[in-house]
Amino acid sequence: MSSGAPVITIPLSSPFQDQKPGTSGLRKSSRRFAEPHYLESFIEAVLRTLPGVAGGTLVVGGDGRYGNQRAIEVIARMGAAHGLARMVTTTGGILSTPAASHLIRQRQAIGGIILSASHNPGGPEGDFGVKVNGSNGGPAPESLTSAIHACTLTLDGYRILEAGAGAAGVSLAAPGMQTMAGLTVEVIDGVSDYLALMEKLFDLDRIAELLRSDFPVVFDALHAVTGPYATQLLEQRLGAPAGTVHNGIPLEDFGGGHPDPNLTYAHELAALLLDGDRYAFGAACDGDGDRNMILGRGCFVNPSDSLAVLTANASVAPAYAGGLAGVARSMPTSAAVDVVAKELGLTCFETPTGWKFFGNLLDAGRITLCGEESFGTGSDHVREKDGLWAVLFWLQILAERRCSVGEVMAGHWARFGRHYYSRHDYEAIPSEAAHGLYDRMQGMLATLSGEAFAGRRIATADDFRYADPVDGSVSEHQGLRLLLDDGSRVVLRLSGTGTQGATLRVYLERYEPASGQLGLDPQAALGDLIAAINALAEIPARTGMDRPTVIT
Ligand code: G1P
Ligand code: ZN
Protein backbone atom coordinates (compact mmCIF):
# COMPACT_ATOMS: atom_id res chain seq x y z
CA MET A 1 0.00 0.00 0.00
CA SER A 2 1.41 3.33 -1.01
CA SER A 3 1.33 6.48 1.02
CA GLY A 4 2.09 8.77 -1.88
CA ALA A 5 -1.42 9.26 -3.27
CA PRO A 6 -2.49 12.88 -3.36
CA VAL A 7 -5.55 14.22 -1.59
CA ILE A 8 -7.93 15.77 -4.09
CA THR A 9 -11.05 17.84 -3.65
CA ILE A 10 -13.99 16.80 -5.82
CA PRO A 11 -16.39 19.71 -6.32
CA LEU A 12 -20.14 19.12 -6.14
CA SER A 13 -22.28 21.20 -8.47
CA SER A 14 -25.24 20.95 -6.09
CA PRO A 15 -25.69 19.24 -2.72
CA PHE A 16 -27.98 16.18 -2.40
CA GLN A 17 -31.25 17.06 -0.70
CA ASP A 18 -32.33 13.62 0.54
CA GLN A 19 -29.51 12.71 2.92
CA LYS A 20 -31.47 13.09 6.13
CA PRO A 21 -30.62 10.19 8.44
CA GLY A 22 -33.74 8.48 9.84
CA THR A 23 -34.27 6.19 12.87
CA SER A 24 -31.35 4.05 11.70
CA GLY A 25 -29.04 6.26 9.67
CA LEU A 26 -29.18 7.07 5.98
CA ARG A 27 -31.08 4.27 4.27
CA LYS A 28 -31.76 4.40 0.53
CA SER A 29 -31.87 2.12 -2.51
CA SER A 30 -28.57 0.69 -3.73
CA ARG A 31 -29.27 2.52 -6.99
CA ARG A 32 -29.33 5.85 -5.18
CA PHE A 33 -26.06 5.06 -3.44
CA ALA A 34 -24.53 4.13 -6.81
CA GLU A 35 -25.10 7.63 -8.19
CA PRO A 36 -21.86 9.58 -8.58
CA HIS A 37 -20.78 11.37 -5.36
CA TYR A 38 -23.86 10.26 -3.34
CA LEU A 39 -22.07 8.04 -0.81
CA GLU A 40 -19.02 10.30 -0.79
CA SER A 41 -20.91 13.45 0.03
CA PHE A 42 -22.66 11.84 3.00
CA ILE A 43 -19.36 10.47 4.29
CA GLU A 44 -17.85 13.95 3.88
CA ALA A 45 -20.59 15.36 6.11
CA VAL A 46 -19.96 12.61 8.67
CA LEU A 47 -16.19 13.20 8.71
CA ARG A 48 -16.67 16.95 9.05
CA THR A 49 -19.18 16.59 11.89
CA LEU A 50 -18.10 13.65 14.03
CA PRO A 51 -15.86 14.96 16.83
CA GLY A 52 -12.23 13.80 16.88
CA VAL A 53 -11.71 12.57 13.31
CA ALA A 54 -8.23 14.08 12.91
CA GLY A 55 -5.91 11.72 14.77
CA GLY A 56 -8.78 9.48 15.89
CA THR A 57 -9.77 5.82 15.49
CA LEU A 58 -12.90 4.86 13.58
CA VAL A 59 -14.55 1.41 13.42
CA VAL A 60 -15.99 0.53 9.99
CA GLY A 61 -17.78 -2.59 8.80
CA GLY A 62 -21.12 -3.88 7.66
CA ASP A 63 -23.56 -6.70 7.10
CA GLY A 64 -21.94 -7.90 3.86
CA ARG A 65 -24.60 -6.58 1.53
CA TYR A 66 -23.93 -5.29 -1.98
CA GLY A 67 -21.95 -2.07 -1.69
CA ASN A 68 -20.31 -2.96 1.66
CA GLN A 69 -16.74 -3.38 0.43
CA ARG A 70 -16.86 -0.43 -1.94
CA ALA A 71 -18.06 1.79 0.90
CA ILE A 72 -15.21 0.63 3.18
CA GLU A 73 -12.73 1.58 0.44
CA VAL A 74 -14.33 5.02 0.03
CA ILE A 75 -14.36 5.63 3.79
CA ALA A 76 -10.68 4.66 4.03
CA ARG A 77 -9.67 7.03 1.23
CA MET A 78 -11.78 9.85 2.63
CA GLY A 79 -10.70 9.15 6.21
CA ALA A 80 -7.07 9.41 5.11
CA ALA A 81 -7.84 12.75 3.44
CA HIS A 82 -9.38 14.01 6.72
CA GLY A 83 -6.43 13.05 8.89
CA LEU A 84 -8.00 9.99 10.52
CA ALA A 85 -5.22 8.06 12.26
CA ARG A 86 -6.67 4.54 12.37
CA MET A 87 -9.52 2.68 10.78
CA VAL A 88 -10.40 -0.67 12.33
CA THR A 89 -12.23 -2.90 9.88
CA THR A 90 -12.73 -6.63 9.37
CA THR A 91 -12.02 -9.47 6.98
CA GLY A 92 -14.57 -9.30 4.20
CA GLY A 93 -15.88 -6.14 5.83
CA ILE A 94 -18.20 -8.40 7.87
CA LEU A 95 -19.13 -6.84 11.21
CA SER A 96 -22.48 -7.20 12.94
CA THR A 97 -24.03 -4.11 14.50
CA PRO A 98 -23.63 -5.33 18.11
CA ALA A 99 -20.04 -6.44 17.39
CA ALA A 100 -19.34 -2.97 15.97
CA SER A 101 -20.76 -1.38 19.09
CA HIS A 102 -18.49 -3.54 21.24
CA LEU A 103 -15.43 -2.77 19.11
CA ILE A 104 -16.02 1.00 19.32
CA ARG A 105 -16.12 0.77 23.11
CA GLN A 106 -13.21 -1.64 23.39
CA ARG A 107 -10.95 0.46 21.12
CA GLN A 108 -12.08 3.78 22.58
CA ALA A 109 -12.82 4.85 19.06
CA ILE A 110 -14.41 8.21 18.22
CA GLY A 111 -17.28 6.18 16.78
CA GLY A 112 -18.13 3.89 13.94
CA ILE A 113 -19.72 3.71 10.53
CA ILE A 114 -21.93 0.67 10.06
CA LEU A 115 -22.83 -0.21 6.49
CA SER A 116 -26.23 -1.82 6.59
CA ALA A 117 -29.88 -1.34 5.83
CA SER A 118 -30.64 -3.76 8.69
CA HIS A 119 -33.46 -6.11 7.71
CA ASN A 120 -34.21 -4.52 4.32
CA PRO A 121 -33.41 -6.64 1.24
CA GLY A 122 -29.97 -6.12 -0.34
CA GLY A 123 -28.34 -6.38 -3.77
CA PRO A 124 -28.19 -3.90 -6.65
CA GLU A 125 -32.00 -3.70 -6.60
CA GLY A 126 -32.24 -3.69 -2.80
CA ASP A 127 -31.29 -1.17 -0.15
CA PHE A 128 -28.05 0.10 1.31
CA GLY A 129 -27.44 2.16 4.42
CA VAL A 130 -24.87 4.13 6.37
CA LYS A 131 -25.30 4.37 10.11
CA VAL A 132 -23.12 6.51 12.33
CA ASN A 133 -22.45 5.49 15.92
CA GLY A 134 -20.87 7.65 18.59
CA SER A 135 -18.04 6.98 21.00
CA ASN A 136 -20.32 5.19 23.49
CA GLY A 137 -20.93 2.57 20.78
CA GLY A 138 -24.56 3.56 20.30
CA PRO A 139 -26.50 5.10 17.43
CA ALA A 140 -25.68 8.79 16.97
CA PRO A 141 -27.93 11.02 19.03
CA GLU A 142 -30.38 13.38 17.33
CA SER A 143 -28.01 16.32 17.82
CA LEU A 144 -25.28 14.59 15.78
CA THR A 145 -27.54 13.31 13.00
CA SER A 146 -29.09 16.77 12.63
CA ALA A 147 -25.65 18.35 12.42
CA ILE A 148 -24.63 15.80 9.76
CA HIS A 149 -27.77 16.56 7.81
CA ALA A 150 -27.24 20.32 8.07
CA CYS A 151 -23.73 19.80 6.70
CA THR A 152 -24.98 17.81 3.68
CA LEU A 153 -27.24 20.70 2.66
CA THR A 154 -24.43 23.15 2.02
CA LEU A 155 -21.70 20.81 0.84
CA ASP A 156 -19.77 22.10 -2.17
CA GLY A 157 -17.20 19.32 -2.41
CA TYR A 158 -15.43 16.46 -0.66
CA ARG A 159 -11.85 15.48 0.06
CA ILE A 160 -10.57 12.05 -0.89
CA LEU A 161 -7.30 10.28 -1.57
CA GLU A 162 -7.00 9.84 -5.30
CA ALA A 163 -7.68 6.29 -6.46
CA GLY A 164 -5.33 4.35 -8.70
CA ALA A 165 -1.81 5.72 -9.06
CA GLY A 166 -0.64 5.79 -5.42
CA ALA A 167 -3.49 4.16 -3.49
CA ALA A 168 -3.78 0.47 -4.29
CA GLY A 169 -6.95 0.17 -2.21
CA VAL A 170 -7.73 -1.67 1.00
CA SER A 171 -7.45 -5.44 1.01
CA LEU A 172 -10.02 -7.10 3.25
CA ALA A 173 -8.85 -10.61 2.40
CA ALA A 174 -7.02 -11.33 5.66
CA PRO A 175 -6.19 -9.74 9.02
CA GLY A 176 -3.24 -7.38 8.96
CA MET A 177 -2.06 -3.77 8.96
CA GLN A 178 -2.01 -1.54 5.90
CA THR A 179 -1.27 2.12 5.50
CA MET A 180 -2.85 4.69 3.26
CA ALA A 181 -1.19 8.08 3.41
CA GLY A 182 -1.19 8.80 7.18
CA LEU A 183 -4.00 6.33 7.88
CA THR A 184 -3.41 2.91 9.41
CA VAL A 185 -5.99 0.43 8.22
CA GLU A 186 -6.20 -2.43 10.70
CA VAL A 187 -8.08 -5.44 9.36
CA ILE A 188 -9.14 -7.82 12.13
CA ASP A 189 -11.29 -10.91 12.40
CA GLY A 190 -14.68 -9.32 13.23
CA VAL A 191 -15.99 -12.33 15.15
CA SER A 192 -13.48 -13.15 17.89
CA ASP A 193 -13.82 -10.06 20.11
CA TYR A 194 -17.57 -10.49 20.12
CA LEU A 195 -17.31 -14.15 21.08
CA ALA A 196 -14.96 -13.25 23.93
CA LEU A 197 -17.59 -10.81 25.22
CA MET A 198 -20.31 -13.49 25.14
CA GLU A 199 -17.97 -15.83 27.01
CA LYS A 200 -17.84 -13.26 29.83
CA LEU A 201 -21.61 -12.71 30.03
CA PHE A 202 -22.86 -16.29 29.92
CA ASP A 203 -21.95 -19.71 31.26
CA LEU A 204 -21.35 -21.21 27.84
CA ASP A 205 -20.24 -24.58 29.23
CA ARG A 206 -23.64 -25.02 30.79
CA ILE A 207 -25.33 -24.20 27.48
CA ALA A 208 -23.03 -26.69 25.74
CA GLU A 209 -24.26 -29.36 28.19
CA LEU A 210 -27.86 -28.57 27.26
CA LEU A 211 -27.08 -28.89 23.56
CA ARG A 212 -25.52 -32.31 24.18
CA SER A 213 -28.61 -33.55 26.01
CA ASP A 214 -31.13 -34.25 23.25
CA PHE A 215 -32.01 -30.61 22.80
CA PRO A 216 -31.76 -30.04 19.04
CA VAL A 217 -31.50 -26.41 18.01
CA VAL A 218 -31.54 -24.64 14.65
CA PHE A 219 -30.46 -21.12 13.77
CA ASP A 220 -31.28 -19.31 10.52
CA ALA A 221 -28.77 -16.61 9.58
CA LEU A 222 -30.83 -15.73 6.49
CA HIS A 223 -27.58 -15.40 4.48
CA ALA A 224 -26.73 -12.31 6.45
CA VAL A 225 -24.06 -11.16 8.89
CA THR A 226 -24.67 -13.54 11.81
CA GLY A 227 -23.70 -16.63 9.77
CA PRO A 228 -20.00 -16.63 10.75
CA TYR A 229 -20.78 -15.59 14.36
CA ALA A 230 -23.44 -18.25 14.86
CA THR A 231 -21.36 -20.99 13.23
CA GLN A 232 -18.41 -20.30 15.51
CA LEU A 233 -20.58 -19.91 18.57
CA LEU A 234 -23.14 -22.68 18.19
CA GLU A 235 -21.29 -25.29 16.17
CA GLN A 236 -17.71 -24.74 17.27
CA ARG A 237 -17.86 -23.38 20.82
CA LEU A 238 -21.11 -24.97 22.02
CA GLY A 239 -20.74 -28.23 20.10
CA ALA A 240 -24.04 -28.23 18.20
CA PRO A 241 -23.86 -30.50 15.14
CA ALA A 242 -22.57 -29.11 11.84
CA GLY A 243 -25.55 -27.85 9.87
CA THR A 244 -27.25 -26.33 12.93
CA VAL A 245 -26.76 -22.93 11.31
CA HIS A 246 -28.85 -22.62 8.19
CA ASN A 247 -28.05 -20.09 5.44
CA GLY A 248 -24.80 -19.29 7.24
CA ILE A 249 -22.83 -17.79 4.34
CA PRO A 250 -23.36 -14.02 4.03
CA LEU A 251 -24.44 -13.13 0.49
CA GLU A 252 -24.53 -9.69 -1.08
CA ASP A 253 -28.24 -10.05 -1.81
CA PHE A 254 -29.06 -12.34 1.14
CA GLY A 255 -29.94 -15.00 -1.44
CA GLY A 256 -32.78 -12.82 -2.69
CA GLY A 257 -34.50 -12.98 0.71
CA HIS A 258 -35.68 -10.42 3.18
CA PRO A 259 -33.39 -10.80 6.20
CA ASP A 260 -36.00 -9.94 8.81
CA PRO A 261 -36.56 -12.48 11.59
CA ASN A 262 -40.34 -12.59 11.82
CA LEU A 263 -42.96 -15.19 10.97
CA THR A 264 -43.47 -13.76 7.49
CA TYR A 265 -39.89 -13.42 6.27
CA ALA A 266 -38.23 -16.23 8.26
CA HIS A 267 -40.99 -18.63 7.24
CA GLU A 268 -38.70 -21.61 6.61
CA LEU A 269 -37.50 -21.53 10.20
CA ALA A 270 -41.02 -20.85 11.46
CA ALA A 271 -42.29 -23.92 9.60
CA LEU A 272 -39.54 -26.10 11.12
CA LEU A 273 -40.61 -25.15 14.64
CA LEU A 274 -44.31 -24.54 14.30
CA ASP A 275 -45.24 -27.33 11.88
CA GLY A 276 -42.55 -29.92 12.64
CA ASP A 277 -41.19 -31.46 15.82
CA ARG A 278 -37.54 -32.07 14.97
CA TYR A 279 -36.18 -29.07 16.93
CA ALA A 280 -36.65 -27.97 20.52
CA PHE A 281 -35.44 -24.43 19.88
CA GLY A 282 -35.08 -22.19 16.84
CA ALA A 283 -33.82 -18.66 16.34
CA ALA A 284 -32.98 -16.19 13.60
CA CYS A 285 -31.32 -12.79 13.36
CA ASP A 286 -31.68 -9.98 10.84
CA GLY A 287 -29.33 -8.56 8.18
CA ASP A 288 -26.97 -6.80 10.59
CA GLY A 289 -27.45 -9.10 13.58
CA ASP A 290 -29.20 -6.85 16.04
CA ARG A 291 -32.69 -8.40 15.89
CA ASN A 292 -33.75 -11.83 17.07
CA MET A 293 -36.70 -14.17 16.83
CA ILE A 294 -37.10 -16.99 19.35
CA LEU A 295 -39.16 -20.10 18.70
CA GLY A 296 -39.77 -23.30 20.60
CA ARG A 297 -41.42 -26.51 19.43
CA GLY A 298 -44.89 -25.34 18.38
CA CYS A 299 -44.28 -21.99 20.08
CA PHE A 300 -43.50 -18.46 18.90
CA VAL A 301 -42.18 -16.07 21.54
CA ASN A 302 -43.55 -12.59 21.12
CA PRO A 303 -40.61 -10.13 21.47
CA SER A 304 -42.41 -8.12 24.15
CA ASP A 305 -42.84 -11.33 26.15
CA SER A 306 -39.21 -12.22 25.48
CA LEU A 307 -38.03 -9.06 27.26
CA ALA A 308 -40.29 -9.90 30.20
CA VAL A 309 -38.99 -13.48 30.40
CA LEU A 310 -35.34 -12.34 30.26
CA THR A 311 -36.03 -9.84 33.03
CA ALA A 312 -37.80 -12.40 35.23
CA ASN A 313 -34.99 -14.95 34.74
CA ALA A 314 -31.98 -12.63 34.55
CA SER A 315 -30.23 -14.16 37.53
CA VAL A 316 -29.42 -17.35 35.58
CA ALA A 317 -26.82 -15.48 33.49
CA PRO A 318 -23.54 -14.76 35.31
CA ALA A 319 -23.51 -11.17 33.99
CA TYR A 320 -26.87 -10.38 35.58
CA ALA A 321 -26.77 -12.60 38.66
CA GLY A 322 -25.98 -9.58 40.83
CA GLY A 323 -29.31 -7.95 39.96
CA LEU A 324 -30.57 -5.42 37.45
CA ALA A 325 -30.31 -1.62 37.72
CA GLY A 326 -33.65 -1.17 35.94
CA VAL A 327 -35.30 -2.00 32.64
CA ALA A 328 -36.74 -0.09 29.70
CA ARG A 329 -39.02 -0.76 26.78
CA SER A 330 -40.10 1.31 23.81
CA MET A 331 -43.59 2.78 24.09
CA PRO A 332 -45.26 0.44 21.55
CA THR A 333 -43.75 -2.63 23.27
CA SER A 334 -46.28 -4.42 25.48
CA ALA A 335 -46.34 -3.83 29.21
CA ALA A 336 -45.40 -7.46 29.95
CA VAL A 337 -42.02 -6.32 31.28
CA ASP A 338 -43.67 -3.63 33.43
CA VAL A 339 -45.51 -6.31 35.41
CA VAL A 340 -42.27 -8.23 36.02
CA ALA A 341 -40.39 -5.04 36.95
CA LYS A 342 -43.07 -4.11 39.45
CA GLU A 343 -42.90 -7.49 41.11
CA LEU A 344 -39.09 -7.38 41.26
CA GLY A 345 -39.07 -3.78 42.52
CA LEU A 346 -37.29 -2.45 39.43
CA THR A 347 -37.85 0.87 37.69
CA CYS A 348 -39.23 0.42 34.17
CA PHE A 349 -38.74 3.26 31.68
CA GLU A 350 -40.96 3.81 28.62
CA THR A 351 -39.02 5.41 25.74
CA PRO A 352 -39.90 6.34 22.16
CA THR A 353 -39.19 3.87 19.35
CA GLY A 354 -35.51 3.55 18.38
CA TRP A 355 -32.51 2.17 20.24
CA LYS A 356 -30.84 5.54 20.70
CA PHE A 357 -33.29 6.43 23.48
CA PHE A 358 -31.95 3.58 25.61
CA GLY A 359 -28.39 4.93 25.26
CA ASN A 360 -28.61 7.64 27.90
CA LEU A 361 -30.27 5.29 30.40
CA LEU A 362 -27.59 2.64 29.80
CA ASP A 363 -24.73 5.17 30.00
CA ALA A 364 -26.13 6.56 33.24
CA GLY A 365 -26.40 3.08 34.76
CA ARG A 366 -30.18 3.43 35.22
CA ILE A 367 -31.05 0.25 33.29
CA THR A 368 -29.45 -3.11 32.56
CA LEU A 369 -31.92 -4.69 30.11
CA CYS A 370 -34.06 -3.09 27.42
CA GLY A 371 -36.07 -4.05 24.40
CA GLU A 372 -38.50 -3.27 21.64
CA GLU A 373 -41.45 -5.16 20.22
CA SER A 374 -39.67 -5.16 16.85
CA PHE A 375 -37.52 -8.19 17.77
CA GLY A 376 -34.86 -6.12 19.52
CA THR A 377 -33.45 -6.98 22.95
CA GLY A 378 -30.22 -5.95 24.60
CA SER A 379 -28.33 -4.99 27.71
CA ASP A 380 -25.61 -2.72 29.00
CA HIS A 381 -22.90 -4.95 27.43
CA VAL A 382 -23.08 -2.84 24.23
CA ARG A 383 -25.14 0.13 23.06
CA GLU A 384 -27.11 -1.66 20.34
CA LYS A 385 -29.68 -4.40 20.45
CA ASP A 386 -28.02 -7.77 20.10
CA GLY A 387 -29.57 -10.75 18.32
CA LEU A 388 -27.17 -13.56 19.26
CA TRP A 389 -26.93 -12.28 22.83
CA ALA A 390 -30.71 -12.80 23.14
CA VAL A 391 -30.38 -16.32 21.68
CA LEU A 392 -27.69 -17.20 24.24
CA PHE A 393 -29.72 -15.68 27.07
CA TRP A 394 -32.68 -17.88 26.16
CA LEU A 395 -30.44 -20.95 25.92
CA GLN A 396 -29.00 -20.07 29.34
CA ILE A 397 -32.51 -19.99 30.81
CA LEU A 398 -33.41 -23.29 29.15
CA ALA A 399 -30.15 -24.85 30.36
CA GLU A 400 -31.03 -23.85 33.90
CA ARG A 401 -34.72 -24.64 33.85
CA ARG A 402 -34.51 -27.80 31.73
CA CYS A 403 -37.95 -27.37 30.23
CA SER A 404 -39.39 -26.44 26.84
CA VAL A 405 -39.85 -22.90 25.50
CA GLY A 406 -43.61 -23.47 25.66
CA GLU A 407 -43.35 -24.39 29.34
CA VAL A 408 -41.29 -21.26 30.10
CA MET A 409 -44.03 -19.14 28.49
CA ALA A 410 -46.91 -20.96 30.17
CA GLY A 411 -45.18 -20.63 33.54
CA HIS A 412 -44.51 -16.95 32.95
CA TRP A 413 -48.15 -16.17 32.11
CA ALA A 414 -49.41 -18.26 35.01
CA ARG A 415 -47.34 -16.05 37.31
CA PHE A 416 -47.61 -12.60 35.74
CA GLY A 417 -50.68 -12.80 33.49
CA ARG A 418 -50.52 -12.53 29.70
CA HIS A 419 -50.34 -9.48 27.45
CA TYR A 420 -51.97 -10.48 24.19
CA TYR A 421 -50.10 -8.45 21.65
CA SER A 422 -49.83 -7.97 17.91
CA ARG A 423 -48.42 -5.50 15.42
CA HIS A 424 -50.08 -4.96 12.06
CA ASP A 425 -47.92 -3.35 9.37
CA TYR A 426 -49.33 -1.78 6.23
CA GLU A 427 -46.29 -1.36 3.99
CA ALA A 428 -45.61 0.82 0.95
CA ILE A 429 -48.80 2.91 1.24
CA PRO A 430 -48.75 6.02 -0.94
CA SER A 431 -47.27 8.68 1.30
CA GLU A 432 -50.24 11.03 0.95
CA ALA A 433 -52.75 8.38 2.00
CA ALA A 434 -50.67 7.39 5.01
CA HIS A 435 -50.20 10.96 6.19
CA GLY A 436 -53.88 11.71 5.54
CA LEU A 437 -54.88 8.83 7.79
CA TYR A 438 -52.37 9.70 10.48
CA ASP A 439 -53.04 13.44 10.52
CA ARG A 440 -56.76 12.84 10.74
CA MET A 441 -56.30 10.60 13.79
CA GLN A 442 -53.90 13.07 15.35
CA GLY A 443 -56.46 15.83 14.87
CA MET A 444 -59.20 13.71 16.46
CA LEU A 445 -57.25 12.79 19.63
CA ALA A 446 -58.64 15.61 21.73
CA THR A 447 -62.22 14.46 21.10
CA LEU A 448 -61.64 10.77 21.83
CA SER A 449 -61.27 10.67 25.62
CA GLY A 450 -64.34 9.09 27.21
CA GLU A 451 -65.61 7.69 23.91
CA ALA A 452 -66.67 4.05 23.56
CA PHE A 453 -64.17 1.76 21.79
CA ALA A 454 -64.42 -2.02 21.35
CA GLY A 455 -66.81 -2.37 24.28
CA ARG A 456 -64.53 -0.31 26.53
CA ARG A 457 -63.97 3.40 27.06
CA ILE A 458 -60.99 5.43 25.92
CA ALA A 459 -59.38 6.69 29.13
CA THR A 460 -56.62 8.72 27.45
CA ALA A 461 -55.88 9.58 23.82
CA ASP A 462 -52.55 11.32 23.26
CA ASP A 463 -49.46 11.75 21.10
CA PHE A 464 -46.59 10.20 23.07
CA ARG A 465 -44.06 12.67 24.42
CA TYR A 466 -40.83 11.64 26.14
CA ALA A 467 -38.73 13.68 28.52
CA ASP A 468 -35.35 11.99 28.85
CA PRO A 469 -34.77 11.46 32.59
CA VAL A 470 -31.01 11.78 32.14
CA ASP A 471 -30.54 14.94 30.06
CA GLY A 472 -34.05 16.37 30.13
CA SER A 473 -34.35 16.54 26.34
CA VAL A 474 -37.91 16.26 25.08
CA SER A 475 -39.09 14.26 22.06
CA GLU A 476 -42.61 15.07 20.88
CA HIS A 477 -44.96 13.25 18.48
CA GLN A 478 -43.71 9.74 19.09
CA GLY A 479 -46.93 7.87 18.31
CA LEU A 480 -50.69 8.09 18.82
CA ARG A 481 -51.97 6.18 21.84
CA LEU A 482 -55.47 5.11 22.76
CA LEU A 483 -55.33 3.88 26.35
CA LEU A 484 -58.52 2.03 27.29
CA ASP A 485 -60.14 1.79 30.70
CA ASP A 486 -59.40 -1.94 31.07
CA GLY A 487 -55.66 -1.49 30.46
CA SER A 488 -55.86 -2.42 26.75
CA ARG A 489 -54.09 -0.21 24.24
CA VAL A 490 -53.94 0.65 20.56
CA VAL A 491 -51.01 2.65 19.18
CA LEU A 492 -50.47 4.06 15.69
CA ARG A 493 -47.09 5.12 14.23
CA LEU A 494 -45.62 5.83 10.86
CA SER A 495 -42.34 3.99 10.26
CA GLY A 496 -39.10 5.94 10.14
CA THR A 497 -37.12 3.20 8.38
CA GLY A 498 -39.12 2.23 5.27
CA THR A 499 -37.72 3.20 1.88
CA GLN A 500 -40.85 2.81 -0.28
CA GLY A 501 -43.87 5.03 0.31
CA ALA A 502 -44.99 5.00 3.94
CA THR A 503 -45.56 2.19 6.42
CA LEU A 504 -48.31 2.40 9.01
CA ARG A 505 -47.81 0.35 12.16
CA VAL A 506 -50.77 -0.53 14.37
CA TYR A 507 -49.88 -1.98 17.78
CA LEU A 508 -52.59 -3.84 19.72
CA GLU A 509 -52.47 -5.02 23.30
CA ARG A 510 -54.82 -6.52 25.88
CA TYR A 511 -53.97 -7.79 29.36
CA GLU A 512 -55.38 -11.02 30.78
CA PRO A 513 -54.62 -11.63 34.46
CA ALA A 514 -53.09 -14.93 35.58
CA SER A 515 -56.54 -16.19 36.60
CA GLY A 516 -57.98 -15.53 33.12
CA GLN A 517 -57.86 -17.20 29.71
CA LEU A 518 -54.19 -17.58 28.86
CA GLY A 519 -54.27 -19.86 25.83
CA LEU A 520 -56.09 -17.83 23.18
CA ASP A 521 -54.83 -17.12 19.70
CA PRO A 522 -53.58 -13.50 19.81
CA GLN A 523 -55.44 -12.40 16.66
CA ALA A 524 -58.67 -13.78 18.08
CA ALA A 525 -58.01 -12.31 21.51
CA LEU A 526 -57.44 -8.90 19.92
CA GLY A 527 -60.20 -9.23 17.31
CA ASP A 528 -62.50 -6.56 18.76
CA LEU A 529 -59.64 -4.05 19.10
CA ILE A 530 -58.55 -4.74 15.51
CA ALA A 531 -62.07 -4.19 14.16
CA ALA A 532 -62.51 -1.02 16.21
CA ILE A 533 -59.27 0.66 15.11
CA ASN A 534 -59.80 -0.36 11.47
CA ALA A 535 -63.15 1.41 11.59
CA LEU A 536 -62.08 4.47 13.60
CA ALA A 537 -58.94 5.18 11.56
CA GLU A 538 -60.62 4.08 8.30
CA ILE A 539 -57.60 1.87 7.63
CA PRO A 540 -58.93 -0.35 4.80
CA ALA A 541 -60.52 2.54 2.93
CA ARG A 542 -57.59 4.92 3.25
CA THR A 543 -54.78 2.41 2.61
CA GLY A 544 -56.67 0.46 -0.04
CA MET A 545 -55.55 -2.72 1.78
CA ASP A 546 -58.02 -5.11 3.35
CA ARG A 547 -55.35 -6.79 5.45
CA PRO A 548 -51.90 -5.88 6.78
CA THR A 549 -48.74 -6.76 4.84
CA VAL A 550 -47.11 -8.27 7.91
CA ILE A 551 -48.75 -9.44 11.12
CA THR A 552 -46.51 -10.10 14.09
C1 G1P B 1 -38.23 -0.04 13.20
C2 G1P B 1 -38.74 -0.60 14.51
C3 G1P B 1 -38.01 0.04 15.66
C4 G1P B 1 -36.51 -0.16 15.49
C5 G1P B 1 -36.06 0.33 14.12
C6 G1P B 1 -34.61 -0.01 13.85
O7 G1P B 1 -38.44 1.36 13.15
O8 G1P B 1 -40.14 -0.40 14.64
O9 G1P B 1 -38.46 -0.52 16.87
O10 G1P B 1 -35.81 0.53 16.48
O11 G1P B 1 -36.85 -0.28 13.10
O12 G1P B 1 -34.38 -1.39 13.87
P13 G1P B 1 -39.70 2.01 12.39
O14 G1P B 1 -39.66 1.51 10.96
O15 G1P B 1 -40.92 1.52 13.09
O16 G1P B 1 -39.49 3.50 12.53
ZN1 ZN C 1 -31.00 -4.69 12.24
Residue nearest to atom 11 of ligand 1 (CA): 497
Nearest residue to 491 via CA among 335, 357, 301: 335
Using CA atoms in the order 447, 449, 450, 454, what is the torsion angle rounded to 10 degrees?
100
Positions in the chain whose pLDDT score sits under 50: 1-2, 165-166
Q: Distance, CA 290 to ligand 2 centroid (Å)?
A: 5
First-residue to last-residue Cα distance in the chain: 50
Q: Which residues contact 38 (CB under 8 A, 6 or more apart)?
A: 16, 28, 32
What pLDDT shows up at residue 356? 86
What pLDDT shows up at residue 2? 46
Q: Distance, CA 518 to ligand 2 centroid (Å)?
A: 31
Residue 24 CA, closest ligand 1 atom number: 6
**Phi-psi region at 141: left, alpha or beta (left = phi > 0; alpha = psi -120 to 50):** beta
Residue nearest to atom 15 of ligand 1 (CA): 495
Q: Distance, CA 288 to ligand 2 centroid (Å)?
A: 5
**pLDDT tens digit string along 499-536?**
678 999 999 999 999 999 999 999 999 999 999 999 99
Distance CA 134, CA 156 (A): 25
Residue 498 CA, closest ligand 1 atom number: 14
| CA distance readout (Å), 62 to 69, 224, 492 | 8, 10, 31
**pLDDT tens digit string along 375-413?**
999 999 999 999 999 999 999 999 999 999 999 999 999
- Domains in the chain, start-ordered, CATH in brackets? 7-190 (3.40.120.10), 194-416 (3.40.120.10), 418-551 (3.30.310.50)
| CA distance readout (Å), 252 to 13, 87, 153, 191, 336 | 32, 23, 31, 19, 37
Q: Distance, CA 385 to ligand 2 centroid (Å)?
A: 8
Mutate to test the pocket of ligand 1, among 118, 374, 478 (most ligand atoms within 8 A of CB): 374
What pLDDT shows up at residue 527? 97
SS3 245: strand
Active centre residues (catalytic): 118
Residue nearest to atom 4 of ligand 1 (CA): 354
Distance CA 65, CA 68 (A): 6
What pLDDT shows up at residue 168? 63
What pLDDT shows up at residue 74? 96
Three-state SS letters, 114-134: EECCCCCCCCCCCEEEEEEEC
Query: Which secondary-structure segment (H or E) carries 269?
Result: helix 267-274
| CA distance readout (Å), 352 to 355, 372, 495 | 9, 10, 12
DSSP 162: P
Residue 290 CA, closest ligand 1 atom number: 12
Q: Distance, CA 252 to ligand 2 centroid (Å)?
A: 16
Mutate to test the pocket of ligand 1, among 27, 118, 372 (most ligand atoms within 8 A of CB): 372
Distance CA 364, CA 26 (A): 27
Q: Which ligand is nearest to the CA of 260?
A: 2
Residue nearest to atom 2 of ligand 1 (CA): 374
What pLDDT shows up at residue 165? 45
Residue 497 CA, closest ligand 1 atom number: 14
- From the number of C-beta atoms within 10 Å of its C-beta (0-12, 13-18, 19+), residue 189 rates as middle
Within 6 Å (CB) of ligand 1, which residues are found? Answer: 23-24, 118, 330, 353-355, 372, 374, 376, 495-498, 505
Residue 118 CA, closest ligand 1 atom number: 12
Q: Which ligand is nearest to the CA of 25?
A: 1
What pLDDT shows up at residue 164? 65
Is the Cα dihedral 149, 150, 153, 157 positive or negative? negative
Query: Which secondary-structure segment (H or E) carries 550?
Result: strand 550-551
Strand 86-90, strand 183-188: pairing: parallel
Q: Distance, CA 22 to ligand 1 centroid (Å)?
A: 10
**Please, what's the largest Cα pairwise distance for the chain?**
75
